[in-house]
Structure 1
């Protein structure tokens, strides 16, 4: 994976954390809402593991976002732009 791939993975994890904070959710809340084990979710959000696309879809759905919305917000974050 090139630099962009690693950078966008990091931005996605940061954006997911921001979305969780906006909902006042802990990782366990997102894990329950998405059906992803808490320990696995922790590895995704810490950068220990890349987030597979089907998992990304479940996370976005749990956050009441489309995959596109979540990815666009992460990309804006990566580019230093304002994030909704």
Structure 2
């Protein structure tokens, strides 16, 4: 069984992937815009690596979504309220 933190991290990555899809952005687009390597973006969005707060904020800014909205959606999913 996963912990709330693991479920939340997975839900956060999933919500960022959803926002990425809405924006029709690629990992390369995000990487270029926020100054990280494409492989890092891929690992963050797959849940393979934790997303640093500064990277999370930059991703949200690039994707045009408030960090609070992403966090709220992730919390709903992590708690099973979605």
TM-score range, shorter chain: 0.7 to 0.9
Contact 1:34 1:61 in 2 (8 A): no
Tell me if structure 1 keeps the 8 A contact 2:8–2:77. no
**Could you tell me which residue of structure 1 aligns to residue 6 of structure 2?**
6
Structure 1 residues without counterparts, runs of 5 or longer: none
Q: 5+ residue gaps in structure 2?
A: none
Of structures 1 and 2, the one scoring higher in RCO (CA 8 A, sep 6+) is 2
Give the ranges of 4+ consecutive aligned residues of structure 1 lying more than 6 Å apart after TM superposition.
Answer: none
2:49 alignment counterpart: 49
- Corresponding pairs, count: 80
Normalising to structure 1: TM-score of the pair?
0.81
What's the CA shift string for 1:6-50, capped at 9, x where partnerless?
111100111111001111112112222222211111111122211
Which residue number in structure 2 is paired with residue 30 of structure 1?
30
Q: CA RMSD in A?
A: 1.6
* Contact 1:13/1:47 (8 A) holds in 2: yes
Deviation for aligned residue 1:80? 4.2
TM-score calculated relative to the size of structure 2: 0.83
User: Residues of 2 paired with 1:69 and 1:52: CA distance?
Assistant: 17
Question: 2:20: which partner in 1?
Answer: 20
